[in-house]
A and B are shown apart, each in its own frame.
Chain A
Amino acid sequence: MSEVEVVDGHVRVRMYRQGLGDCFLLTFPGRERAVHVLIDCGVILGTEHAAERMRAVADQIADETGGHLDLVIATHEHWDHLSGFLQARAEFDAMSVGQVWMAWTEDPGNPLGRELRAEREHRRRVLIAAVQRLHNTDLNVTVGLGIRDLLTFFGEEMGAVTGATTRDALTYLTGREDAKTEYLHPGTPPREVPGVPDLDVFVLGPPADRTLLSRSRPRKGQGEVYEVAALSADASILGHAEEQEGNPEWDGHRYPFDASYHIPWSAASEMEYFRSHYGFGGEDAPAWRRIDHDWLGAAGQVALNLDNDTNNTSLVLAFRSRVSGRVLLFPADAQIGNWTSWSAYEWMVPEGQSEAARITVRDLLENTVLYKVGHHGSHNATLQDEGLERMTHPDLVAMIPVDSEMAERKRWKMPFPPLLDRLTERTRGRVLRVDFGRPTEEELQQIGMLTRRERATFLEATSEDPLFVDLRIAL
């Protein structure tokens, strides 16, 4: 096994290679002993031998930590970040946990958080109904597939129920007897990782603002009308899905017109006028212009909104050394709305021996030496101008928890090529990936942006194992 030693004054970041999904183990030297922080543990649904892989990861974690995790952080409610807590439950049961951190949006005591969760659950049920309906037809099946793949983020698999969902994974963590769960709010004073000196953890997201929570891509100069459209799309599909479920509260006034205008579908298909004009079949009534299922196309957008909204509830953390000011940035899967909200905060922190210093998000970005790339490198989870372009530290390294083969199988564009190019430029080649591990000396030479000495330093600080990639960073 090839691994990087934990050295004083350094943190070791271990990215596990279970597939498309996040699982990071941070090991700090600590005051008395090494302190272990686990950020997420999951792999996307549909990964082969997923449970075995996650058990292997969990075993390795147990080995490494001696069976004690000082801190477990669950960033947001997606299967590819949480599945391991269920798939390797026995292994996690056998470990002890000091503390659990989650975003305020998961707090059962927070009214907005509750509301958001209820909405998510509602939309999820609606989509399942829509997909089932699409499933029974051969039309529009492609949209159905897309939605189905999106739903796998929640551990939802059509036709083959996994028996457990992302909610169960969160409940498992909050329900542990050994660990207290804390719900973090952005902009609050920096926290400490118990037992680690000279380290501040800044909470940047998720934003406490509803509008920002539902923003998934940058927009310029547009009003709120887009939000209105998106919400109402959800609401209207909803009506029908409830009917599908035989909801007794469904009643006639959810239809747009009085029942006296209705000609039921079956009756219409028997009527000569509709047979020929709509196209119920026959020489003179070709079916190519029918629209039986087009209305379900909106479900694709609903699925997308649901997925984005969930990503935007990502807990975003920046670990900053008080000694060097260097920062490890873990934005989980935060999307644009989450990213843009960070600039609203600033913090006062004791700086060495001197007076308290003011820290802004810009300071954090400028001193970022490790960027955990958001959302497996998709195009809308790394803010450009006020994000990646601000990460100007010469030692910047990027870690992308992506498996491009899996992404391709799901037909997702991850990592997004222009983003990958820019990351390579910004880090001058120092990109670590789940699928390809670390770049070799030859590859770094070919990129040609690092000096010989920098290459040697980088390779010395990293290592690659079939199960993980290691990176050591001076604090």
Chain B
Amino acid sequence: MSPAPDVPAAPASLIDSAGERATSPPVRRLRGYAFDPSLSIQMDTALVNEVVFRVPWEGADVLEPGPVGEYVEVVDCDPASGCFYPPVNLNNPHLLAQDGLAPSEGNPQFHQQMVYAVSMTTIRNFERALGRRALWSPHGPESSPRGGTEGDPYVQRLRIYPHALREANAYYSPKKKALLFGYFPATAAQLGEHLPGGTVFTCLSHDIVAHETTHALLDGMHRRYVEPTHPDALAFHEAFADIVALFQHFTFPEVLRHQIAQTRGDLASQNRLGELAQQFGRAIGHYGALRDAIGAVDPVTRMWEPRVPDPRDYDTVMEPHQRGAILVAAVFDAFLAIYRTRVADLFRIATSGTGVLPAGAVHPDLVNRLAGEAAKTAQHVLTMCIRALDYCPPVDITFGDYLRAIITADMDLVPEDDLGYRVAFIESFRRRGIYPLDVRTLSVDSLRWDRAPETTRTAFHPIAAKLRNFIHQSRYIQSRRETYRQSYEIRRRLHSLIAADSDDGGFGQVTGLALGAGVALPGLTPDASGRPLFEVHALRPAQRVGPDGEALNQVIVSITQHRTLGLDGKAVHNVGDETITFRGGSTLILDLDTLSLRYAIVKRIDSEQRLRRQLAYRQTTLGQSLYATYFSSEMMHEHEEPFAFLHRQS
């Protein structure tokens, strides 16, 4: 039978464009290892070791072979072997149809896919928590607005080298804006899990990739945190990177489900989650050390036991990894406490109120619900931890500051804390002796950063009004480069606004800076007019909506300043003397709806106490680093790979 004559044949163009009605997919699915390859050859974990990462979709117009996308570029160069490996093209239809390449240690292209998938997942988590696009730290000479600009400091993509080193190490290079991953032969101690003489690739471990990506993201927000001015500084970088890696891991319910089902009895004590957290980090050396504070296997009973926190730890442990471990353990404890609250009702329902599970396998529905709650809790904790970065001082962070930032950020967005998240954080920090130095009590309210006083709040009206206009214009910018450029432009204008206003001293009072003519503080650098230099270090818009529909419309401005001083903390006497850079400044949080200053988080530039502490710490860092005995500080400075050294030192 022939077609009815009145139905016209479909035009060719309609057939061609049929696909256009489908919207582009929200995510790209890519397979990868949930842990690292060693678990794929163990019977009890082989099945759960493969997960599918759902990374934000970057279409064929954005994603080139490499993968090279909007945020990262994977360049697979192996200088130790003197060769390159061909880049993977994730837009190849074969790969699109089967969630990318299958996990394989022997195929470098899968390695490229793995680092891309994990780094993009981490970036996604940051963007979701912060409500804006992630930017990398700028490249090259001081690019902040002080008048002139030099070159284009914008770095669009973080570079990732999956096979850069032949050693058990991986690090973020602030100088090259690159992640360098190493590989090394498995040694006798690891024979149980690896092929003897086989190769271990750090770029195949989810935790290591997430950890290093986080270093880069944190550096993009707080460039000064890599400077070791305080025992907490490098420890914070390490700990924060590990917290992100850890909780990102916990957001995969499929991994948790397996473990929860396997160890039904242990769930009540929640030990299993802690043990799991540690296993995640076990892969290689230093990463595991960061989780030592969570717990350890008792040598007598051979059972894993959580470590009882010691309130003196914070005062006595100074080595960056061990100190970082305290922070990791504190956040992990808070996570457990929240999880416990969230699943208490499930346990009551499942056990008719007895709290004792019947013998045999746990009902799969319960397993699913528990895994879901754990994953959700992990996502919440992760978000809280990342969001707090906006509420941190621009220089010289301490763990106490970070606690205050977590509490303040959360109170701003989630006024009702019905599940006790904030109390859980305070409790677990307190148990490890981490207190902010400048609060009277450890209540939620007193830990919140001090609200700016009424008088200063309104003093910011004119500046906030101008900022609102700028921000409003920049809100609809699509490209990250344009976002960076705009932000740079706003910072430049803000700088002139403040400079023009600096002589009356009010602004300096609020920000803790030495501004205007006639300031007598040794070590400041004067500008052409003799007023001390300062910089508008960063500007970050924050538009967020909380779970209760509470909308936040803020802009965060960091203003900083530095003094160059001799080792005695006084003005430099002779040219060529060894000097230190002492920084101060503040993070200002401005509410754009009310045009007022909400918080000023200040590290005063004239603080004698902070200066003394930095000078004293300088002595001990030299003492702690064996590398510094032979490789002098200027060598290390020139080398500028703080993380390489931190990870290498044994």
Question: Which A residues are in CB contact (< 8 Å) with B629?
Answer: 378-380, 412-414, 416
B190 touches A228 (CB 8 A): yes
Question: Which B residues are in CB contact (< 8 Å) with A143?
Answer: 631, 635, 639
Q: A163–B178 Cα gap in the complex (Å)?
A: 43
> Majority SS of interface residues in chain B?
mixed
B394 at interface by CB-CB < 8 Å: no
A232 touches B84 (CB 8 A): no
Within the complex, the shortest CB–CB distance from A237 to chain B, in Å, comes to 6
Question: Which A residues are in CB contact (< 8 Å) with B613?
Answer: none
Given the contacts A232-B167, A297-B639, A226 and B79 also touching, CB distance less than 8 Å: no
A413 touches B635 (CB 8 A): no
Within 8 A of A (CB), among B151-189: 159, 161, 163-169, 173, 176-178, 180, 182-187, 189
Question: Which B residues are in CB contact (< 8 Å) with A412?
Answer: 629-630, 632
Q: A268–B81 Cα gap in the complex (Å)?
A: 13
Question: Which B residues are in CB contact (< 8 Å) with A264?
Answer: 82-83
Question: Which B residues are in CB contact (< 8 Å) with A288?
Answer: 139, 176
Within the complex, the shortest CB–CB distance from A457 to chain B, in Å, comes to 34
- Number of residue pairs spanning A and B whose beta carbons lie under 8 angstroms apart: 211
B631 touches A291 (CB 8 A): no
Within 8 A of B (CB), among A120-175: 140, 142-143, 145-146, 149-150
A347 at interface by CB-CB < 8 Å: no
B166 touches A261 (CB 8 A): no
Question: Which B residues are in CB contact (< 8 Å) with A235?
Answer: 184-185, 187
Question: Which B residues are in CB contact (< 8 Å) with A216?
Answer: 626, 650
Within the complex, the shortest CB–CB distance from A333 to chain B, in Å, comes to 12
Within 8 A of B (CB), among A305-336: 305, 307-308
Q: A227–B85 Cα gap in the complex (Å)?
A: 31
A452 at interface by CB-CB < 8 Å: no
Question: Which B residues are in CB contact (< 8 Å) with A142?
Answer: 631, 635, 638-639
Question: Which B residues are in CB contact (< 8 Å) with A380?
Answer: 626, 629
Q: A257–B184 Cα gap in the complex (Å)?
A: 12
A94-102, A273-281, A440-448: which lies at the interface: A273-281
Mask: chain B, 101-116; 1 = CB below 8 Å from A; 0 = not: 0000011100000000
Q: A246–B137 Cα gap in the complex (Å)?
A: 42
A261 touches B79 (CB 8 A): no
Within the complex, the shortest CB–CB distance from A74 to chain B, in Å, comes to 23
Question: Which A residues are in CB contact (< 8 Å) with B619?
Answer: 417-418
Report which residue of A236, A256, A258, A292 has the largest number of chain B beta carbons within 10 angstroms of its beta carbon. A256
Given the contacts A264-B83, A265-B84, A291-B176, A226 and B285 also touching, CB distance less than 8 Å: yes
Question: Which A residues are in CB contact (< 8 Å) with B284?
Answer: 225, 229
B530 at interface by CB-CB < 8 Å: no
B54-62, B70-78, B426-434: which lies at the interface: B70-78
B163 touches A256 (CB 8 A): yes
Residue of A nearest to B292 (CB): A221
Q: A296–B491 Cα gap in the complex (Å)?
A: 40
Selected from A217, A289, A293, A418, the residue in CB contact (under 8 A) with B177 is A289
A274 touches B166 (CB 8 A): no
Selected from B164, B630, B639, the residue in CB contact (under 8 A) with A291 is B164
Within 8 A of B (CB), among A262-286: 262-265, 268, 273-274, 277-278
Q: A69–B488 Cα gap in the complex (Å)?
A: 76
B644 touches A231 (CB 8 A): no
A240 touches B187 (CB 8 A): no
> Majority SS of interface residues in chain A?
helix
B274 at interface by CB-CB < 8 Å: no
B648 at interface by CB-CB < 8 Å: yes
Q: A411–B622 Cα gap in the complex (Å)?
A: 13
Question: Which B residues are in CB contact (< 8 Å) with A273?
Answer: 65, 87
Mask: chain A, 408-445; 1 = CB below 8 Å from B; 0 = not: 00111110111000000000000000000000000000
Within the complex, the shortest CB–CB distance from A106 to chain B, in Å, comes to 24
Question: Which A residues are in CB contact (< 8 Å) with B178?
Answer: 289, 291
Q: A315–B180 Cα gap in the complex (Å)?
A: 41
Within the complex, the shortest CB–CB distance from B290 to chain A, in Å, comes to 11
Within the complex, the shortest CB–CB distance from B141 to chain A, in Å, comes to 12
Residue of A nearest to B623 (CB): A379
B236 at interface by CB-CB < 8 Å: no
Within the complex, the shortest CB–CB distance from B38 to chain A, in Å, comes to 14
Selected from A230, A293, A298, A414, the residue in CB contact (under 8 A) with B79 is A293
Q: A255–B80 Cα gap in the complex (Å)?
A: 9
Residue of A nearest to B140 (CB): A288
Given the contacts A232-B168, A236-B167, A263-B84, A294 and B180 also touching, CB distance less than 8 Å: yes
Within the complex, the shortest CB–CB distance from A44 to chain B, in Å, comes to 13
Residue of A nearest to B644 (CB): A297
A261 touches B108 (CB 8 A): yes
A300 at interface by CB-CB < 8 Å: yes
Residue of B nearest to A300 (CB): B631
Residue of A nearest to B627 (CB): A304
Mask: chain B, 615-645; 1 = CB below 8 Å from A; 0 = not: 0000100110011111110110011010010
Question: Which A residues are in CB contact (< 8 Å) with B596?
Answer: none
Question: Which A residues are in CB contact (< 8 Å) with B180?
Answer: 291, 294
B286 at interface by CB-CB < 8 Å: yes
Selected from B79, B106, B189, the residue in CB contact (under 8 A) with A224 is B189
Selected from A145, A231, A298, the residue in CB contact (under 8 A) with B165 is A298
Mask: chain B, 175-218; 1 = CB below 8 Å from A; 0 = not: 01110101111110110000000010100000000000000000
Residue of A nearest to B632 (CB): A411
Given the contacts A232-B187, A298-B167, A268 and B83 also touching, CB distance less than 8 Å: yes
B409 at interface by CB-CB < 8 Å: no
B585 at interface by CB-CB < 8 Å: no
A181 at interface by CB-CB < 8 Å: no
A418 touches B623 (CB 8 A): yes
Question: Which B residues are in CB contact (< 8 Å) with A217?
Answer: 626, 650
Selected from A231, A290, A379, A413, the residue in CB contact (under 8 A) with B187 is A231
Selected from A220, A263, A410, the residue in CB contact (under 8 A) with B322 is A220
Within the complex, the shortest CB–CB distance from B516 to chain A, in Å, comes to 38
Selected from B86, B177, B189, the residue in CB contact (under 8 A) with A228 is B189
Residue of B nearest to A297 (CB): B644
Selected from A224, A231, A291, the residue in CB contact (under 8 A) with B77 is A291
Q: A150–B631 Cα gap in the complex (Å)?
A: 10
Residue of B nearest to A379 (CB): B623
A291 touches B79 (CB 8 A): yes
Selected from B106, B107, B177, B622, the residue in CB contact (under 8 A) with A413 is B622
Selected from B108, B169, B183, B631, the residue in CB contact (under 8 A) with A146 is B631
Q: A378–B317 Cα gap in the complex (Å)?
A: 22
Question: Which B residues are in CB contact (< 8 Å) with A225?
Answer: 189, 284-286, 288-289
Question: Which A residues are in CB contact (< 8 Å) with B185?
Answer: 232, 235-236, 239
B627 touches A236 (CB 8 A): no
Question: Which A residues are in CB contact (< 8 Å) with B288?
Answer: 223, 225
Within the complex, the shortest CB–CB distance from B168 to chain A, in Å, comes to 4
Q: A82–B288 Cα gap in the complex (Å)?
A: 41
Report which residue of B73, B177, B184, B644 has the largest number of chain A beta carbons within 10 angstroms of its beta carbon. B184
B68 at interface by CB-CB < 8 Å: yes
Q: A257–B85 Cα gap in the complex (Å)?
A: 9
Selected from B83, B184, B189, B190, the residue in CB contact (under 8 A) with A263 is B83
Within 8 A of B (CB), among A237-261: 237, 239-240, 255-258, 261
- Ordered by A's residue number, 13 sampled pairs between the chains whose C-beta atoms are within 8 Å are A225-B284, A225-B289, A226-B289, A229-B167, A233-B167, A233-B168, A235-B187, A237-B167, A256-B199, A274-B84, A278-B77, A294-B164, A413-B622
Q: Which residues of B contact A (CB under 8 A)?
A: 65-66, 68, 73, 75, 77-87, 106-108, 139, 159, 161, 163-169, 173, 176-178, 180, 182-187, 189-190, 199, 201, 284-286, 288-289, 292, 317, 319, 322, 619, 622-623, 626-632, 634-635, 638-639, 641, 644, 648-650
Q: A221-B322, A227-B650 are in contact. List 9 more A-B contacts (CB 8 A).
A: A140-B639, A145-B635, A146-B631, A221-B292, A230-B650, A236-B80, A257-B108, A262-B83, A278-B75
